[in-house]
C-alpha cells in the first residue's frame, strides 16, 4: 500500500506528441507511460492533418488530442504559434515528434531548446531525410536501424540519445526492412523518453 501511494505521488514529466500519420510510435509511448513507475505522462497529442490515423488511437486511449491543420495557415510561423499555444496550455515539458512531417523553424526549436525529441529510421548520421529506409536499402548496407535524438535547427542532426541496429539480410524486401526497423523504434522511443524524463526530474539534463 505504501509503495502504491508513493508511486501515485511520483512526479512525472508532462509530454506532448506531434504526429502526421499512423501513430505507431505514439502508441508505444502511450503504452509505456501507462506503467505506474514510468517517469512521464502523455498529456496531449497534436496532428498536423485530419488524415492522421494516430488521432483516433490517441482518443481511444483517452489522451487529449487535436488537429492543427498546417494547410489552414498561410505562414509556418502562425501554424507553429498555434501548436506552441496548445502545448503550453497543457504545461508540457517534453515534445516527442513521432512521424511528424513538418520541418520546425528555428523559432520553435529555440523556444523548446533541448526539450524536443525525434525518432528517425536510420543509424544517424547516415541516411538523414524523409526516405531514410529506402535510401539505406538501395545503398545495400548490411546494417541500418533507428535513432532518437534531440531536435536542433538542422534536420536530423541534433544530439543522438539512443540507437538500435538492424541487420539487413540478403533477400529482405524493403517492406521487411521497414518492419524490422519500426519494431526497434517501438523499443527505443519509450526507453528514450524514460531516460530524458529521469534526467529532467533529477536536474541532470545539462550533463547529458
To ligand GRF, the closest distance from the beta carbon of 106 in angstroms equals: 20
- Residue 23 interacts with ligand GRF (CB under 6 A): yes or no: yes
Residue in this structure with the C-alpha cell 509505456, named with its chain if needed:
32
- Is 86 one of the binding residues for ligand GRF (CB under 6 A)? no
In order of 32, 142, 208, the CA distances from 99 in angstroms are 18, 25, 24
Q: Which of 47, 98, 123, 166 binds ligand GRF (CB under 6 A)?
A: 98
- Asked if 21 is part of the footprint of ligand GRF (rule: CB under 6 A), the reply reads yes
Q: How far is the CB of 74 from ligand GRF (least distance, A)?
A: 26
In angstroms, rounded to a whole number, what is the distance separating the alpha carbons of residues 43 and 17? 8
- Please select the residue that binds ligand GRF; options are 47, 94, 99, 177, rule is CB under 6 A: 99
Q: Is 12 in the site for ligand GRF (CB under 6 A)?
A: no
Q: How far is the C-alpha of 149 from the C-alpha of 31, rounded, in Å?
A: 21
Exposure string of 26-45, with b = 16+ CB inside 10 Å and e = fewer, is: bbbbbebbeeeebbbbbbbb
For position 185 contacting ligand GRF by CB under 6 A, the verdict is yes
The burial of 106, by beta-carbon neighbours within 10 Å (0-12 exposed, 13-18 middle, 19 or more buried), is given as: exposed
Helix axes 174-201, 24-33, angle to 10 degrees: 40
Which triple of cell numbers denotes residue 56?
Answer: 483516433
Q: State in angstroms the smallest separation of the CB of 22 from ligand GRF.
A: 4
Question: Are 100 and 19 contacting, i.e. CB atoms less than 8 angstroms apart?
Answer: yes
Choose the stretch contacting ligand GRF; rule: CB under 6 A; options: 1-9, 39-47, 84-92, 115-123.
Answer: 115-123
Beta bridge partners of 17: 45, 96
Residue from 115, 120, 162, 184 touching ligand GRF (CB under 6 A): that is: 120
Residue nearest to ligand GRF (CB): 99
Set 13, 117, 120, 190: catalytic member: 120
Of the two residues 172 and 207, which places its CB atom closer to ligand GRF in the complex? 172
CB 33, min distance to ligand GRF, A: 15
Grid coordinates representing 47 are: 496532428
Note if 120 is an active site residue: yes
CB 40 within 8 A of CB 116: no
Residues noted as catalytic:
120
What is the binding site for ligand GRF (CB under 6 A)? 21-26, 98-99, 119-121, 182, 185
Amino acid at each position: 500500500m505504501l509503495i502504491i501511494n508513493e508511486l501515485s505521488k511520483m512526479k512525472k514529466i508532462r509530454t506532448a506528441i506531434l504526429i502526421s500519420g499512423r501513430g505507431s510510435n505514439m502508441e508505444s509511448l502511450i503504452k509505456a507511460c501507462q506503467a505506474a513507475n514510468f517517469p512521464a505522462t502523455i498529456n496531449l497529442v497534436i496532428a498536423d492533418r485530419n488524415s492522421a490515423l494516430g488521432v483516433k488511437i490517441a482518443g481511444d486511449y483517452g489522451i487529449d488530442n487535436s488537429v492543427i491543420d498546417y494547410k489552414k495557415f498561410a505562414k509556418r510561423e502562425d501554424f507553429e504559434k498555434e501548436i506552441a499555444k496548445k502545448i503550453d496550455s497543457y504545461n508540457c515539458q517534453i515534445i516527442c515528434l513521432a512521424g511528424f512531417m513538418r520541418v520546425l523553424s528555428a523559432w520553435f526549436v529555440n523556444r523548446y531548446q533541448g526539450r524536443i525529441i525525434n525518432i528517425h529510421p536510420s543509424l544517424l548520421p547516415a541516411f538523414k531525410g524523409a526516405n531514410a529506409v529506402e535510401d539505406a536499402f538501395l545503398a545495400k548496407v548490411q546494417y541500418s536501424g533507428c535513432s532518437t535524438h534531440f531536435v536542433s535547427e538542422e534536420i536530423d542532426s541534433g544530439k543522438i540519445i539512443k540507437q538500435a541496429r538492424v541487420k539487413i539480410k540478403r533477400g529482405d524486401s524493403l517492406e521487411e526492412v521497414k518492419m524490422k526497423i519500426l519494431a526497434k523504434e517501438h523499443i527505443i522511443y519509450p526507453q528514450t523518453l524514460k531516460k530524458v524524463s529521469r534526467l529532467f526530474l533529477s536536474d541532470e539534463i545539462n550533463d547529458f
